Structure 1
Amino acid sequence: MARKRKGRDISGWLVVDKPAGVTSTAVVNKVKWAFNANKAGHAGTLDPEATGVLAVALGEATKTVPYITDALKAYRFVVRLGQATNTDDTEGEVIAQSDLRPTDEQIKEALSGFLGDIMQVPPKFSAVKIDGQRAYKLAREEEDFELAARPLWVEELLMTDRPDADHVELEMTCGKGGYVRAIARDLGEALGCHGHVKWLRRVWSGPFDAEDGITLEQLDALARTPELDAHLLPLEVGLTDLPEVKTTDQGVVRLRNGNPGMVIAHGVEYGDECWASFDGKAVAVGQYRAGELHPSRVFVPAAPTEG
């Protein structure tokens, strides 16, 4: 009975197309329940009102979460010009307004200032920790505090539509730790008219695409069935951005015990972070040194299926 309560020993990635109005944590909990999995986590929080890719890792795939978190991500969003809110989205209270409306050319020119390596101050209503407390909790209590600027890589930021004077649709590709709400806020300030996010969708995250995502309705309908298991992607997908090396019969035994193991590598240099495979399955992630992989993460192989 205790084993049943713990859940299944199942590993892999599920791409969820998150709807608006639900938290990322709630989605992870629903996925964990639907698979009756013993462990689950996600790679990159989405705001409750945001939609799109939420990549959920189960079991051993949770060890690959950092590599998806570090990967590039793409967002499509609309900025409401002329208003600033205390949350930098439509959920908050309007705290400043302006009748000024920039031209398309002014917007495009301002966007160029947000490309490359930039420093970004997270929204006060965010999960950033200050002295052990979440910023959003301090903001709700109307505490006076400041957040430090953080580095962010913005690879692309384009205006894709201007439906009317009050709204502009943008697409952004960026690295980890970026807040779209902060981009909207800072763009509004740069244009001298204020701004906040009206709606936001994460189009893709690393190897995961929103078009391939399962909906919560599908998740409910397929819960605890083999059909749902068929939607699970292998944990190796989470290692796409790392070079692969292949280990030997002797190497796989050593690696699974947490020791350096012999690998066959091509195009990999001394000190590179890689993942080792054996018969196509991930064995470990680690550092390549002179013909061996020194493991930092080891994947426990799935138990043999009964029956």
Structure 2
Amino acid sequence: MGRTRKGRAISGFLIVDKPAGITSTSVVNKVRWTMQAQKAGHAGTLDPAATGLLAVALGEATKVLPYVTDALKAYEFTIRWGQETATDDAEGEVVRASDLRPTDAGIEAALPAFRGDILQVPPAFSAVKVDGERAYDLARDGEVLELSARPLHVRKLDLLSRPDPDHAVLEMVCGKGGYVRSIARDLGRALGCLGHVTRLRRTWSGPFALSGAITWAEIESAGQGEALDARLLPLETALVGLPECRCPEASVALLRNGAAAPVFPAEGVEWGDEAWASRDGRAVAVGHYEGGTLRPTRVFAA
């Protein structure tokens, strides 16, 4: 007999404007406790010092987290020139310094090398696993790490403003696995002046935007119960990038039991495409379209 989960069987996304000084895991745990949800997760970790959009999934919405995690995300961040730190942000000690400061033209000229499909070495203090251990744990123990470069797609990287010679504000839109701290570090090295991130804010992630996001103060004042239920976005929001195939009533039970079943194909969907099946606007399953049927890989409770 399976273990019965404690809590409410609620599903959807709560979009949180994470403040600085709190871990992403702490936000998820607080939301889960506040809403008394059976299960919860998040799409894409933000460093404790970072702020901005954190999509918290509850219940059945945790099954579609990969579609948000894999989606493009946007960040606005400030680089402090002239200093490189052990953590590539303002939390770490300064390990190298330079009196050089880049011109606006110099920054603009360096940015194209960081756009498109690039290779990026993660920061030593990151959640990347090395021989089964987190890099930040090894780095805290004093180990010198040689992390491998990883592919990253950078859709956009633009200079927004120059508050003073020591700082620059940039915007980046990138794919899964991008480290803004690495961009600041590598851009500083390319310009010969060194650099690290002093402020980082995620402004959107996949289909989710900061407009309408709930604040930490609102979560803290809500108490346990249903006070935040009206702020939940449906799990279907995360599936906007997939074709939607509507299914007849007779197919609902089959799909939810993991069996292939007939669906009405979405326009343009082809054999083998990943798609989702809906009934009355509610997601029934995600799977692969096979000529009039959907073979489910993820199913959702009623």
TM-score tier by shorter-chain length is over 0.9
Distance 1:180 1:277 in 2: 37
**Matched letter for residue 294 of structure 2:** L
Normalised TM-score (structure 2): 0.97
Task: Give the C-alpha shift of residue 300 in structure 1.
Answer: 1.2
Residue 227 of structure 2: aligned partner: 227
Distance 1:53 1:105 in 2: 31
Residue 304 of structure 1: aligned partner: none
The question of 1:73 aligning with 2:73 is answered yes
Residue 301 of structure 2: aligned partner: 300
- SS of match in other structure, 2:286: strand
Distance 1:220 1:198 in 2: 27
**Matched letter for residue 126 of structure 1:** S
- SS of match in other structure, 1:10: coil
**Matched letter for residue 287 of structure 1:** H
- SS of match in other structure, 1:254: helix
Q: How does 1:99-248 map to 2 (within 5 A)?
A: 99-248=99-248
Distance 2:236 2:55 in 1: 14
Task: Give the C-alpha shift of residue 4 in structure 1.
Answer: 9.8
**Matched letter for residue 272 of structure 1:** D
Distance 2:220 2:65 in 1: 24
Distance 1:101 1:215 in 2: 37
Residue 14 of structure 2: aligned partner: 14
Distance 2:124 2:16 in 1: 27
Q: Deviations over 1:235-270 (max 9, x none)?
A: 111111111110112211210110001111121011
Q: Deviations over 1:18-52 (max 9, x none)?
A: 00000000000000001000100000000000000
**Matched letter for residue 101 of structure 1:** R
CA distance 1:5–1:257, change in 2 (3 Å): closer
Residue 48 of structure 1: aligned partner: 48
- SS of match in other structure, 2:231: coil
Larger mean CA deviation between 234-243 and 178-187 belongs to: 234-243
**Matched letter for residue 285 of structure 2:** A
Distance 2:119 2:256 in 1: 41
- SS of match in other structure, 1:106: helix
Preserved CA contact (<8 Å) 2:121 2:147? yes
Distance 2:31 2:78 in 1: 29
Residue 305 of structure 1: aligned partner: none
- SS of match in other structure, 2:145: coil
Task: Give the C-alpha shift of residue 212 in structure 1.
Answer: 1.8
Task: Give the C-alpha shift of residue 224 in structure 1.
Answer: 2.6
**Matched letter for residue 80 of structure 2:** R
- SS of match in other structure, 1:102: coil
**Matched letter for residue 49 of structure 1:** A
Flag structure 2 segments of 5+ consecutive residues without an equivalent.
none
Task: State the identity as a percent.
Answer: 63
Task: Give the C-alpha shift of residue 5 in structure 1.
Answer: 7.7
Distance 1:54 1:232 in 2: 13
Residue 292 of structure 2: aligned partner: 291
The question of 1:269 aligning with 2:286 is answered no
- SS of match in other structure, 2:214: coil
- SS of match in other structure, 2:26: helix
Distance 1:232 1:251 in 2: 28
Task: Give the C-alpha shift of residue 144 in structure 1.
Answer: 2.4
Task: Give the C-alpha shift of residue 226 in structure 1.
Answer: 3.1
Residue 282 of structure 1: aligned partner: 283
Residue 260 of structure 2: aligned partner: 260
